[in-house]
Amino acid sequence: AGLVLLVIVLAIQAMHQSRESLATIPAFSNTVGQVYRALGQPVQPAWNITGWRFEATKGNVEGDDEELTIYSRLGNNSDGPLPYPLISISLTDRFEETIGSRVLEPAEYLPTDLDPRKLVPPGNTFNAVITIKSATESATGFKLNVCYRLSDGQLRCAIDDFK
């Protein structure tokens, strides 16, 4: 009985140690994940942030240079489904210095016909439309990055030193 108890404790420890990777599996998230949420320690899945790729991106200035609209197509290049990422955008000046940045939630850049809570299957793409009102004249470019939020509120992004 003691041996069985030790094996169960070891299995629980291994599961706890790998909980972020296991949380990407719906069966784990729907069962064990609920226990963590009930204990006030929700598990944030360790999604493959490097699985996203920007396939095509272009920016247009509209309305007397007051509104910057960025159109981008993103693709899931990973082996499994991924949730829609957060998109971090930084406006840059002519010296490539960051003059402003913002992190967009999926509901802010997705068309209205896509549900931001659904997963994007591997190999699929989607279009993101980002509108920045009152872009300053010193903004001559932009940079995009994909991120996921960690359980402590920090961001984990595909480009680590992104500004």
DSSP per-residue string spanning 127-149: EEEEEEET--TT--EEEEEEEEE
Q: Provide mean pLDDT across the span 104-117.
A: 92
Residue owning tokens 């984990």: 156
How far apart CA 82 and CA 121 sit, in angstroms, is 7
End-to-end CA distance of the chain: 56
pLDDT tens sequence across 122-136:
999 999 999 888 667
Tokens of 36: 């963590």
**pTM attached to this predicted model:** 0.78
Q: Provide mean pLDDT across the span 37-46.
A: 84
Those residues with Cβ within 8 angstroms of residue 137's Cβ, 6 or more apart along the chain or in another chain: 65
How far apart CA 57 and CA 127 sit, in angstroms, is 10
Is residue 163 over pLDDT 60? no
Q: Provide mean pLDDT across the span 33-53.
A: 87
